[in-house]
Amino acid sequence: MRLSQFFEATPVQQVKDYWNSRPCNIRHSTKPIGTREYFDEVEARKHFVEPHIPTFAEFERWDGKKVLEIGCGIGTAMINFARSGAQVTAVDLSDESLKLAKQRAEVYDLNDRINFYHGNAEELNQWLPPETYDLVYSFGVIHHTPHPERVIEQIRHYVKPGSTIKIMVYYRYSWKVLWIVLTYGKGQFWRINELVARYSEAQEGCPVTYIYSKQEAKELLQGFDVIDMQVDHIFPYYIPDYKQYKYTKVWYFRWMPQPLFRWLEKTFGWHLCVTARVPSEPLND
């Protein structure tokens, strides 16, 4: 069965409703939403729990460059790109997320570095003005849309030879997938796609969550030169404590030597971080 068949009948409206009901990382701080303290804490928590993000994004590298971020959410990467001197175009399907991302740009006085667009990235060229970017960045987004391959097709309109594409999709052979199937599915591996979608996010019931092997990610990015693929990130904290903003590791990670934990993350991590380059051959017919 083709990977895209599992969720391709899901209406994109359902995806939009889900992310509007709880924008990604909205509870990363207890400070009043939309304040500077709130956004500072959101960023600190995100980069504490997912320290591989700044390494993958290489924010400083895009100083003076044009960055298109697909699925900016409430704008943690977006603000880092802008702060580093990039000119950013930030798009998202969720208007509630975009509202906060816009507020964030205002709070840090970075409005003039960011343009916002609201829409479905599967149809990018119907609403995003034609332009080419040095970097197209999309972290944890493409696997949540019913037709990920359409987003990749759309990206081809917004790049030029030498442009970089950085995407993170969830990794099929990960600790998290195993944990979900064992914990919630009692080992029913044949229900893997349904179970992963239901339990992949902080809020239960995500309508679409694809998972990718390295080969499937390469196939998704067909036509681009994949130059790097890194598996990373295992969430080691006890969830009830984490919800209370306490970082208690679950017992088996607490006792695990750090080098072994890093090896596990790099081998069975949840995030498949892929960097690709646009070759000199034209991509569009």
Tokens of 276: 């690709």
Tokens of 65: 């460059």
Binders of ligand SAM among 126-145, rule CB under 6 A? 139-141, 144-145
Handedness of CA 238, 182, 47, 109 (dihedral sign): negative
Instruction: Give the one residue of 68, 105, 121, 220 binding ligand SAM; rule: CB under 6 A.
Output: 121
Instruction: Give the one residue of 71, 207, 236, 269 binding ligand SAM; rule: CB under 6 A.
Output: 71
Listed in sequence order, the DSSP H helices in the chain are 12-21, 36-49, 52-57, 76-83, 95-107, 148-155, 175-183, 192-199, 214-220, 239-243, 251-254, 258-268
Strands 87-92 and 114-118, bridge-based pairing: parallel
**By the rule CB under 6 A, 89 interacts with ligand SAM:** no
Calpha distance 200→10 (Å, rounded): 17
Closest separation between CB of residue 73 and ligand SAM, Å? Answer: 3
**By the rule CB under 6 A, 148 interacts with ligand SAM:** no
Closest CA to 92 of 128, 60, 66, 120: 120
Calpha distance 99→81 (Å, rounded): 18
Closest CA to 103 of 170, 36, 163: 36
Select the span of 87-95, 105-113, 190-198, 264-272 touching ligand SAM (CB under 6 A): 87-95
Calpha distance 200→176 (Å, rounded): 8
Closest separation between CB of residue 281 and ligand SAM, Å? Answer: 27
Closest separation between CB of residue 94 and ligand SAM, Å? Answer: 3
Select the span of 92-100, 159-167, 175-183, 239-247 touching ligand SAM (CB under 6 A): 92-100
Which residue, 68 or 93, is less far from ligand SAM as judged by CB? 93
Closest separation between CB of residue 212 and ligand SAM, Å? Answer: 15
Closest separation between CB of residue 119 and ligand SAM, Å? Answer: 7
Per the CB < 8 A criterion, the answer to whether 260 and 41 are in contact is: no
Closest separation between CB of residue 255 and ligand SAM, Å? Answer: 30
Closest CA to 76 of 55, 96, 54: 54
CA atoms within 13 A on the CB side of 63: 3
Calpha distance 39→160 (Å, rounded): 33
Per the CB < 8 A criterion, the answer to whether 31 and 45 are in contact is: no
Instruction: Give the one residue of 3, 7, 24, 276 binding ligand SAM; rule: CB under 6 A.
Output: 24
Select the span of 116-124, 177-185, 246-254, 271-279 touching ligand SAM (CB under 6 A): 116-124
Closest separation between CB of residue 58 and ligand SAM, Å? Answer: 15
Which residue, 9 or 257, is less far from ligand SAM as judged by CB? 9
Which residue, 17 or 225, is less far from ligand SAM as judged by CB? 17
Which residue, 126 or 280, is less far from ligand SAM as judged by CB? 126
Which residues here bind ligand SAM, judged by CB under 6 A? 12, 15, 19, 24-25, 71-73, 76-77, 92-94, 97, 120-122, 139-141, 144-145
